Amino acid sequence: MGFSMKRYFKFLIIILLVCISYARAQEILADVTCNIEQVPPSNKDYLLDFDKRIKEYINNYRWIGKNYGDDKIKVSISILFVSGNSDNVYNAKVVIESQRPLFDGESSKGKTTKIFRALDDKWEFVYEKGKPLDHEERRFDPLTSFIDFYMLTILGFDADTYEKELSGTPLFERAKNIVQMGASSNKMGWKKTAGSTYSRWDLNEELLSAKMVPLRVGFFNYHYNGLDIKSSQPDLAYKNVLNALEQIASVKKNNPNSILVRNFFDLKYIEIAEFFKDYPDKSVYKKLIEFDKAHYKEYEKYLKD
């Protein structure tokens, strides 16, 4: 009996260690909110736990099996349901944002920087309350594949800013497989669009385009060789960030409708302006205006100070 109990407790300890290891390996910490006011009353009860289930789907999964420790990628997802019907078919608009910690050496100082934002207004899916949400990248599902696409994209962006240049490519390739399945499904938002209209296809295509390599390299240098070393090596950080912005602006010149360029400057213009506030030569803001004319008013504030 004693021997059996000893084996039993040993088994429990092994299970506990596995569970702890599993929890630590999760890479994303997501917060999900839903607005269901526009959904017919008959559908609202079915959606009361939707935010909780999406949050669990994301946070309880090992997306790439990497241990981020306490510095998980923070993701916020705001879902606005715009329609629903008796067949449990829903349409929603979604804002998805991610951020990562800023580092000085190997330790986070509690500061973060925004990495990615998307406003996606073409999410159509079927949701049945109580039906399991399964992770299966090789099978397209309008609900879970949408989440998978964005989580892999966010993980790719994070890798592009921290590990090494272009290290997000394998994750963008996985996201591409989902895009291709989505395009074959004829669901909204997955096919290539014309002009400056946003789609998941267009985003993924840019991320894997040779034309965008200088931007992605600039993205890495801006964060890893710029923001992350600002407090310890400010002179080098200033130099690297200016070089990175010049790279990104050169891509913008040849690709004025680029989703990635627009996403970068829309997220970063306040951060960029603040980054150079102690720079000894205030004329740097004239250069920033050249790089990012859309936000010139923000840079002019610092130029006049």
Give residue 106's pLDDT.
53
Give residue 36's pLDDT.
96
CA 166, 171, 177, 181 dihedral sign is negative
Complete DSSP assignment for 162-225: HTSTTTTHHHHHHHHHHHHHHHHHT-TT-S--STT---HHHHHHHHT-GGGHHHHHHHHHHHHT
With contact defined as beta carbons under 8 Å apart, do 218 and 261 qualify? no
Give residue 109's pLDDT.
60
91 vs 23, higher pLDDT: 91
Give residue 108's pLDDT.
52
Q: Is 124 helix (H, G, I), strand (E, B) or coil?
A: strand
Task: Name the CA dihedral angle for 56, 58, 59, 62, rounded to a multiple of 10 degrees.
Answer: 120
Tens digit of pLDDT for each residue in 242-284?
999 999 999 999 999 899 999 999 999 999 999 999 999 999 9
Of the chain, the percentage scoring pLDDT greater than 90 comes to: 74
Confidence check: pLDDT of 71 > 50? yes
Give residue 129's pLDDT.
87
With contact defined as beta carbons under 8 Å apart, do 220 and 160 qualify? yes
Give residue 121's pLDDT.
94
Q: How confident is the model at residue 103 (pLDDT cuts 50, 70, 90)?
A: confident
Retrieve residue 102's tokens: 């800023």
Give residue 304's pLDDT.
78
Confidence check: pLDDT of 107 > 70? no
Measured CA to CA, the distance from residue 152 to residue 204 in angstroms comes to 11
Measured CA to CA, the distance from residue 248 to residue 243 in angstroms comes to 9
Confidence check: pLDDT of 177 > 50? yes
Give residue 24's pLDDT.
39
209: which residues sit within 8 A by CB, 6+ positions away?
none
Find, among 122, 117, 196, 189, the residue nearest to 157 by Cα: 117
Mean pLDDT of all residues in 233-244:
96
SS3 content of the chain, % helix, strand, coil (to 5): 55, 20, 30
Retrieve residue 261's tokens: 């360029």
Retrieve residue 134's tokens: 């399964």
Find, among 187, 147, 121, 116, the residue nearest to 53 by Cα: 147
Find, among 61, 56, 65, the residue nearest to 25 by Cα: 65
Confidence check: pLDDT of 69 > 90? no
Order of all β-strands in the sheet with 28-35: 28-35, 73-84, 89-104, 107-126
218: which residues sit within 8 A by CB, 6+ positions away?
243, 244, 245, 246, 247, 248, 251
- Per the listing, tokens 């004329």 go with 283
Q: How confident is the model at residue 67 (pLDDT cuts 50, 70, 90)?
A: confident
Complete DSSP assignment for 277-295: TT-S-TTHHHHHHHH-GGG
Q: In the predicted model, what is the mean pLDDT of the chain?
A: 88
Give residue 105's pLDDT.
56
Q: Is 302 helix (H, G, I), strand (E, B) or coil?
A: helix
Tens digit of pLDDT for each residue in 83-93?
999 899 999 99
Q: Is 152 helix (H, G, I), strand (E, B) or coil?
A: helix
